[in-house]
């Protein structure tokens, strides 16, 4: 049976990847989006702290983040940086959706549902900037 600990670790690793990759978005995205990127980066950092704290409170090991990640496609300009941001928000959405199923308390499931919606909202905003279809029927899948 998948447990709260598994779910917290999956959500944490997804958020850590976003924390690692958002600066790459910031390096290539046009100047008009810098404050958006900074804010998003901060949100992901806060979630890493929250998830690490929850794992520590359960006396679980907090796994170290991966040292480096490979990108799904080259990020060479503002358009590809925006596409990466969509990819990141969809990735964290999948992590939170996983935690929804894994959570063993109503409180944790409620928290995961709220975070999934927040990530879906961010994905939609980047989708708009990428001129993609804004909405998804099943965020996190």
The contact mask relative to other proteins for 36-75 (x = CB under 8 A, - = no) is ------------------------------xxxxxxx---
CB-based contacts of 69: which residues, under 8 Å, 6+ apart?
17, 20, 21
Which residues ranging from 82 to 141 are in contact with other proteins (CB under 8 A)? 84, 87-88, 90-91, 93-95, 97-98, 100-102, 104-106, 109-110, 112-114, 116-117, 119-121, 124-125, 128, 133-141
DSSP state, 138? S
Torsion of the alpha carbons at 81, 32, 94 and 113, rounded to the nearest 10 = 180
Report, in Å, the least distance between residue 90 CB and other proteins.
Answer: 7
Place of tokens 């708009």: 128
């Amino acid at each position: 049976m998948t447990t709260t600990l598994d779910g917290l670790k999956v959500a944490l690793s997804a958020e850590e990847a976003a924390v690692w990759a958002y600066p790459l978005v910031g390096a290539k995205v046009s100047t008009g989006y810098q404050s958006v990127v900074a804010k998003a980066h901060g949100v992901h950092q806060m979630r890493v702290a929250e998830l690490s704290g929850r794992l520590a409170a359960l006396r679980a090991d907090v796994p170290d983040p991966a040292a480096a990640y490979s990108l799904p496609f080259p990020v060479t300009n503002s358009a590809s940086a925006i596409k990466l941001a969509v990819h990141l928000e969809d990735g964290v959405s999948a992590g939170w959706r996983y935690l929804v199923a894994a959570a063993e308390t109503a409180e944790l499931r409620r928290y995961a549902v709220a975070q999934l919606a927040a990530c879906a909202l961010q994905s939609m905003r980047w989708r708009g900037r990428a001129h993609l279809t804004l909405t998804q029927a099943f965020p996190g899948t």
